[in-house]
Amino acid sequence: MTTSSPVDERKEIDRERRKRLSQELANLFDKDRKALRADAPGVLSQWRKGLSHPPHTTPVLAMQVSNVLSSPYEREGSWDVRTWETAIHYGLGLFAVHQQSVSVPVHDFTAAGQRSVSVGAACRALAAAQVDPARREFPASTPQFETVNNGLVRRLEAAMSSESTLELVGHVRGIIPLLKSTDRVIRIDYVQLVADLAAWSTPARRGPTALSWGRHFYAPFRSDTSSPEPANDKE
């Protein structure tokens, strides 16, 4: 009889959480994940309410949180599980705010196995969208440094300086309206955002997570394909 190592078990827990969380998001859309289901707005309305209540004080999102953390590897009541309960609660609430009044997914379902669209990467896409198209000279363009994006840089810096998960949630919630203010759909990998929110609870992991957001934001543009896609079906 073979037993799994702690490292293998940790990886399995992470894979299972991400898979179940992705499925919770997919359940809101049609089978092609291109449009919201008819009942999705009501669900999203409930999820948004979760942002007004701390986890464990409201039944809102309890079913979703419980499902994501129902793997046989989970240790109910452990610090790690409670950290993820909080992260899922707030992460899905933030997704619901971002998805409001948008008919196509704002979660990046293509992120699995590819470069994740973090908050930093989403802000990078917004920085490009806010620059006058006539001045975008790829690959030399560096829209992150344009004056028009000074406010965005300050907001991202404030988020990355957060000293608690709750503070970070507040800053990300403030960034989301900016992502929705353009004529393009700017997505976030909300599965990864939940993992980042969970990491923020540990000071030793907070710095590396913030640094990854910063690197994603300042990553150079190589071609026009680095720009966010047009939102032809944005409501």
Domain boundaries, the chain: 6-99, 119-226
DSSP 8-state secondary structure symbol assigned to residue 201: T
C-alpha torsion 63→75→84→50, nearest 10: 30
CB 229: neighbour CB atoms within 10 A?
12
Helix, strand and coil content of the chain, in percent to the nearest 5, comes to: 60, 5, 40
Q: What is the pLDDT of residue 19?
A: 94
Q: Across all residues in the chain, what is the average pLDDT?
A: 87
- Encode pLDDT of 3-27 as tens digits: 667 777 888 999 999 999 999 999 9
pLDDT band at 133 (very low <50, low <70, confident <90, very high): low
Tokens of 35: 């449009």
- Encode pLDDT of 162-175 as tens digits: 999 999 999 999 99
